[in-house]
Structure 1
Amino acid sequence: MKKLQNVTIKGTKEGIILHLNDNCSFDELKKELQMKLMESSRSHADHHLITVKVQLNNRYLTEEQTEEIKEIINENENLTVDSITSNVLTKEEAQLKKEEQEIVSVSKIIRSGQVLNVPGDLLLIGDVNPGGTVMAGGNIFVMGTLKGIAHAGCNGNHNAVIAASVLIPQQLRIGDLINRAPDHVVDQEPREMECAYIDENNQMMIDRLQVLMNVRPNLTRLERGL
């Protein structure tokens, strides 16, 4: 009967991927990892740097164990750890993920100098005055006039959107992209119910609210329609 491999090495254009068995003991895993990497290093005569992505599957490693895995890989001069990923979430990570998916509704006016920051989506029933700031890890929806600063996708989510009943902001940010007030505000009265989003060219766009059903079809989280 063929013995199950605890370490599988897969080569890619970007480097190598290590698939680590999540059913064996950690000591068995370390021994086989050391052996496999030694064999692999002998087969590479050149010494150019190779990036390594480690996939733990359903195994959870403590910080100490993670460092041990890194040390074993880094013992090979031509290998460098790019990432270590696992399907297992810690309680803290699960709580943060839950918070990022929640919609926080707030009814108030954000005045100059005030900052409202939520981990998930923000539904603000009220205005954001000039000098006021609203921030969210997800989307921002303002049921009122947005005259201040809005930063959606604070954690780098470029799929986040900003929408407001009246959109005349000092500044809009989505992820790491920044845009000033829509150009039409300078020349005419603002249109109602507009949104901001990042398009496929990584440009921030300002458009009618109705376009969101096409550019962000997954925005609605309801599981069943009418």
Structure 2
Amino acid sequence: MKKTHNVMIKGTKDGLTLHLNDQCSYTDLKNELEEKLLLHHIEDEESPLISVKIQIGNRYLTPEQEEELKELVRNKRNLVVGDIISNVITKSEAKRIREDNDILSITTIVRSGQVLQVPGDLLLVGDVNPGGTVLAGGNIFVLGALKGIAHAGVNGMREAVIAASVMVPSQLRIADCLNRAPDHYDKEDQHEMECAYIDDSNHIVIDRLQVLRHLRPNINRFEGGY
């Protein structure tokens, strides 16, 4: 019967990568790792340090087990541990990712002095009055009049957009890009939704909502489209 290799060591331009089988027992994995590291051990004190990445796939390791694997590597004179790469995420990480990708729907009026902030996308059914502020980690969609301040992509998401039924903001921000509306900018009588995004020249521009289909093809998280 062909023996299953639980540890594969591959050299890269950045050092070594250890590919560890995520189906075997942890004990078998640790024993084989120690054996194979002995084969790659260099006794020469003058040998350069080699960075090692450990890929564990779908295996969950406790903090103690992670430290054991790191110690096995560190015991070899010329090896240093870089990263441990895993496909497994914790519940708190999964919750954060879900929140960052959620579209939070809120029906309210954001009045002067009020600040409404969400971690992901914001769908606001209502107005943002002058002096009011809405902030989102993702995109901002206002089914109403946007007359105050809107800041999308607050954590640096430059692909974020801001859309509103009536786009008359006092200030627009997307990631670190800012655009203050001119004093004469007045579209109270408009009948078409508009959107704001960062263009190729690193400026925020306001355009018809329909352009998002081509500019941000991955933005639509709803069934259907516009």
TM-score (norm 2): 0.76
> 2:143 corresponds to which letter in structure 1?
M
Which residue of 1 is the match for residue 186 of structure 2? Answer: 189
1:31 & 1:38 partners in 2: Cα distance? 11
Q: Percent identity?
A: 53
- Which segments of 5 or more consecutive residues in structure 1 lack a partner in the other structure? none
Which residue of 1 is the match for residue 55 of structure 2? Answer: 55
Indicate if the aligned counterparts of 2:161 and 2:174 stay in contact, CA closer than 8 A.
no
Residues paired across the two proteins, number:
219
Task: Give 1:38 deviation, angstroms.
Answer: 4.1
Task: Give 1:18 deviation, angstroms.
Answer: 2.4
Task: Give 1:78 deviation, angstroms.
Answer: 4.4
2:71 & 2:37 partners in 1: Cα distance? 12
Matched, 1:178 2:183: no
Alignment of 1:77-226 (within 5 A): 77-82=78-83, 84-165=84-165, 166-174=167-175, 177-181=176-180, 185-186=182-183, 188-189=185-186, 193-198=193-198, 203-208=202-207, 209-222=209-222
1:200 & 1:41 partners in 2: Cα distance? 51
224 and 164 in structure 1: CA distance in 2 versus 1, 3 angstrom threshold: closer
RMSD: 3.3
Indicate if the aligned counterparts of 1:167 and 1:193 stay in contact, CA closer than 8 A.
no
68 and 215 in structure 1: CA distance in 2 versus 1, 3 angstrom threshold: farther
Task: Give 1:153 deviation, angstroms.
Answer: 3.2
2:80 & 2:142 partners in 1: Cα distance? 49
After superposition, what is the alpha-carbon deviation per residue over 1:132-170, rounded to whole angstroms, capped at 9, x for unaligned? 332223221112333444333345444332222315242
TM-score (norm 1): 0.76
Task: Give 1:19 deviation, angstroms.
Answer: 1.7
Structure with larger Rg: 2
Task: Give 1:178 deviation, angstroms.
Answer: 2.9
Task: Give 1:81 deviation, angstroms.
Answer: 1.5
